[in-house]
Amino acid sequence: MSELSVNHLLGIKYLKESDIQLIFETADHFKEVINRSIKKVPSLRDITIANIFFENSTRTKLSFELAEKRLSADVLNFSASQSSVKKGETLIDTVNNILSMKVDMVVMRHPNPGAGIFLSKHVKASIVNAGDGAHEHPTQALLDSYSIREKLGDVAGKNVVIVGDILHSRVALSNIFALKLQGANVKVCGPKTLIPKYIESLGVQVEMNLRKALEWCDVANMLRIQNERLDISYFPTTREYTQQFGVNKALLDSLAKEIVIMHPGPINRGVEITSDVADSKQSIILNQVENGVAIRMAVIYLLASKIKQ
């Protein structure tokens, strides 16, 4: 297969396994490009991309912008907090105004689940979901699986535990879809109040005991408690959360095998993982960020190829 089965990247849920493999093979090529002294290719000189962010971001925003520039696309950056959204302009009006400036693709982060899907039905442009509320964060899941593949050789058959706030996490949902599609075994671990009741219907097992989860896994993907999405208290105190679901070096060192530690960022150091774990040789957190550029180059390049047809 040499093209994606989709015209937008709205979620991993809409991808086939062959789409993921195509994205990874394309990312392998771009990873080689961005390690050259001249880190740029002219592939998308005829494409204009708008990055529209209605929520804060460091990694995703900069990574998309860099990926677009490495592909020689023209780039517009839009921050909702400094825009006419503040004067009451709707999402569709905002995007249609941006598109009338001859923009081909929109990368959007939005607090509302389904915002990208809604947009894709109402505007004429290729839409890339850069995180929609607690729904999906597809490029994060792609770069996470790509990083597992790079570290362990394959994703199929690997045991991956996702630890923490599963309920509010778009990273968890996209990772579950991506890992299951590639044949990994997935468990989730966290406070009962932060594990959705439907989770087992996604082919995922629940393990409430962190030590048992870590003893089982090859990879632990540690999630941040998303305080900005918590309207009530889901656990007694942060200290008790850390005692039950935080990973520290002593716990890692007490395991019979060396596991891989991942985190999508931003990290709450000392809450879900201690600094000596985040900065240890078992952690691939910064490799994930590095791979994010190659993965986003691949996604944009493959979607742009469909626009050009």
| 273 φψ region: left (φ > 0), alpha (ψ -120 to 50), beta (else) | beta
Minimum distance, C-beta of residue 139 to ligand CP, in the bound complex (Å): 9
Minimum distance of ligand CP from residue 113's CB (angstroms): 15
What is the distance between the alpha carbons of residues 60 and 197, in angstroms, rounded to a whole number?
29
Residue 79 or residue 205: which is nearer to ligand CP going by CB?
A: 79
Residues in contact with ligand CP, counted by CB under 6 A, come to a total of: 10
- Taking the complex as a whole, the smallest distance from the CB of residue 137 to ligand CP amounts, in Å, to 6
Q: E-strand spans in 82-184?
A: 105-110, 126-132, 159-163
Q: Which residues contact 9 (CB under 8 A, 6 or more apart)?
A: 15, 127, 128, 129, 138, 139, 299, 303
- Write the interaction track for ligand CP spanning residues 59-88; mark x where CB under 6 A is met and - where it is not: xx----------------------------
Give me the least distance between CB of 140 and ligand CP, in Å please. 5
Region binding ligand CP by CB under 6 A among candidate stretches 65-73, 145-153, 247-255, 264-272: 264-272
Do you find a cis peptide bond into 42, omega within 30 degrees of 0? no
Min separation Cβ 141 and ligand CP, Å: 11
Burial letters 97-118, b for 16+ CB under 10 A, else e: ebbeeebbbbbbbbeeeebbbb
C-beta of 58 vs 227, nearer to ligand CP = 58
What length does the chain have? 309
Does residue 268 interact with ligand CP by CB under 6 A? Answer: no
Alpha carbon distance 4, 302 (integer Å): 7
Residue 58 is a binding residue for ligand CP (CB under 6 A): yes
Closest distance between ligand CP and the C-beta of residue 128, in Å?
13
Please report how close the Cβ of residue 45 comes to ligand CP at its closest, in angstroms: 27
Instruction: Confirm if 282 and 259 have CB atoms less than 8 A apart.
Output: yes
Instruction: Tell whether residue 287 is a contact of ligand CP (CB under 6 A).
Output: no
Give the CB-nearest residue to ligand CP: 60
Specify the stretch interacting with ligand CP by CB under 6 A; choose among 86-94, 114-122, 258-266, 267-275. 258-266
Task: Map residues 112-151 to x or -, x wherever contact with ligand CP holds by CB under 6 A.
Answer: -------------------x-----x--x-----------
Q: Tell whether the torsion through CA atoms of 187, 135, 202 and 4 is positive or negative.
A: negative
CB of 255 to ligand CP, least distance (A): 26
Instruction: Candidates 11, 138, 190, 264: give the one binding ligand CP (CB under 6 A).
Output: 264
List 7, 57, 112, 248, residue binding ligand CP (CB under 6 A)? 57
Q: Can residue 221 be called a binding residue for ligand CP (CB under 6 A)?
A: no
Please check whether residue 282 is in contact with residue 261, taking contact to mean a CB–CB distance below 8 angstroms: yes
Determine, following the binding rule CB under 6 A, whether residue 227 of this chain makes contact with ligand CP.
Answer: no
Q: 167, 195 in Cβ contact below 8 A?
A: yes
Q: Strand ranges (DSSP E) for 9-103? A: 48-53, 74-79
Most distant CA atoms of the chain, gap in Å: 59
Chain residues binding ligand CP by CB under 6 A are: 57-60, 131, 137, 140, 264-266
